[in-house]
Amino acid sequence: MPMPRQTRARRRSIAGLAVAWLGALVAISTFAPVVAASSSGYVANCDVNLRTTASTSATVVALIPTGTVVVADATVSGDPWSAVCGTSVSGSTWLAVTTVGGTSVSSLYGVGHVYAASGLFHAQVVAPTWLEGVDVSHYQGTINYAQVAAAGKSFVIAKATEGIGYTDPSWTKNLANATAAGLKVTGYHFARPDGNPTKPVQEADWFVSQLALAPGMIVPALDLERAGSMSPTALQAWVGAWLDEVYLKTGVRPMIYTSPSFWHTALNNTAMFANEGYTVLWIAHWFVSAPSVPANNWGGHGWTFWQYDDCGTVPGISGCVDLDRYNGLDLTPVTVGADFQVGTSPTQQSVEQGAATQFTIPIQRTFFTLPIDLQVTGLPSGAQASLDPATNAGSTATLSINAAGGVSAPAAGSYPLVVTGTADGMTRTTTATLVVTDAAPPTVSAPMPRLYFRSTLWTTGAPVRTAWTATDPSGVIQDELQRSAAGGAWTSFGLLTPTTTWVTQTLAIGTKYAYQVRATDGAANTSDWTVGPTVTAVLTQQSSSSVTYGGTWHSSSVASASGGSEKYAYGSGAWVKLSFTGSSIAWVAPTGLGRGSASVYIDGVYKGTISLYASSYHARQIVFAYNWATNGAHSIKIVNRATSGHPRIDIDTFLRLVQG
């Protein structure tokens, strides 16, 4: 905390004596190392030799290439050196290197240090991980905050009150002028439990009454430096009462200013306040590379503000001033009233199935500069969404919706979409309505006539099953089927149900047929007619010269057979083969007692073994069928697998469909 000038002058006098003593000690030895404040990183400007000592005659342990990063914990005076490294350089100062390329030299070379000419390196620039600020009181007099801001300071913590009834004479001026200069500001209360051991609430109320806490300010601070004769338990109770009263009156949890030694001694190193939600610690620990944090690293939260120097120099401020750091690059988490809201524009958007649309996501920020993570939920099945940017540091984002086409498109309807933004422990949501409209008709496949087994070849024609598909995200409510025979007009046929997608009909042998279908969806969109291939049912009788046989076959006249006759074989291995052109093939044979089994091969590939056995006789059975999408040159071969008691297979005819 700022203190009387005479106290600071005394500290500077003591510090001056220490420096003089150190200078005398260094003068004793010309080659004594000048140790850096802490290990520093350096980048090689050219290829550099690393040596065992600070001498050009020492052994070279490694040659490191340009750009290598080393860490040195000291500089030493050694032999003169000179080199051309971009430009001509010379000197007698050497780096005492402890790490090369991220690996310790003890691991690399088995020594504690290696040495390199310092002029062959430049300092590694490390991005800062904190913001700089100051804390002040009336001791600093009138402050030029424009110069303070120009010097790179981001925040000011100014004394507001002390005890009960005292307001710092510069508080109101510091608050107004620092804010006007664009600096984040807050006030602190210098606690006097030594003078008011029973009045923590009154001190808190006085602080709140003078603070004028407003959105945009940093959370206020309790400065703890005086314990008086209070025990740690009593002081803990006093501090707790003060904090809770300020929280009650402002809705803001104050930060706590203390030093490690004071907290250990006066408050018994308690972590109680950090665990109760007072997580912002302002630690006073001067002239160290990193502060010691009491209370078990402040309940695991670490330090938030660090007063690292009690007598710094800052443009715009006369004399000494306390120097502080904020542990981070954004003050939003410690800014009072920092908030954000997300919205949608427009609040409702319509999109056709298969099309895309966009919503604008405006982000309203109130003293809030952190990136906000955005997500969307509630999308209908089949829709895809993207948010750009998904992690937003600006004032708008774009929500893009793609209502994918085809079967996967979302069903028509209204869908509430929830856009959620999360940042700094806060969650904000907004709702938009996506209306998916169905302007697309169903997708209908071409009706495909096929032969099927376990059916009967009628004397009036061939049984053919014609099937298709009709799909739509809004659902299909009706299918319509038409047929044309011998190139004639289209004739409609009723289906078993409005959405049946197959029909079985008898097609006259030798006559060309074609089918067409269309479908209507739940939004009353009707597709165009989809026309299937023209097909003709063709019979190739077993007596045709295009049918070849192997083994012993017998012919017989059978009135119920397709052509009035059949062939049959008893011997195992007897075979029959037909080469043909078509899109479907079927083997037609009688089934009954004494019939056996045969293996069927299509284009030389085994497709299964078929049994012709039945408890009673049935003529003209389609015992095997195979189908392709289009016409092609194919073959079917049937091989008798005669077994004892079931030696016989029969060939009545071959039925096929030919497209075109």
462, containing H or E segment: strand 462-467
Quick one: angle between helices 232-250 and 200-211, nearest 10? 40
- Grouping H, G, I as helix, E, B as strand and the rest as coil, residue 255 is strand
Residue from 200, 270, 176, 259 nearest 225 by CA: 259
Quick one: tokens of 629? 């999408």
549 phi/psi in degrees, rounded to 5: -130, 155
Strand partners of residue 97: 72, 114
Instruction: Please state whether the peptide bond connecting residue 389 to the residue before it is cis, i.e. omega within 30 degrees of 0.
Output: yes
Quick one: tokens of 494? 């009723």
Please answer whether residues 335 and 367 qualify as being in contact, where contact means their C-beta atoms are separated by less than 8 angstroms.
Answer: yes
Please answer whether residues 367 and 332 qualify as being in contact, where contact means their C-beta atoms are separated by less than 8 angstroms.
Answer: yes
Tally the C-alpha atoms within 13 A of residue 82's C-alpha that lie toward its C-beta: 1
257, containing H or E segment: strand 255-258
- State how far the Cα of 460 lies from the Cα of 450, in Å rounded to an integer: 18
Quick one: tokens of 465? 């099953």
The DSSP secondary-structure symbol of 120 reads G
Please answer whether residues 106 and 112 qualify as being in contact, where contact means their C-beta atoms are separated by less than 8 angstroms.
Answer: yes
Quick one: tokens of 533? 């291939």
Strand partners of residue 601: 606, 637
- State how far the Cα of 306 lies from the Cα of 134, in Å rounded to an integer: 10
Amino acid at 173: K
Active site residues: 135, 223, 225
Q: Name the region of 626 (left: φ>0; alpha: ψ -120 to 50; beta: rest).
A: beta
Residue from 398, 414, 407 nearest 354 by CA: 407
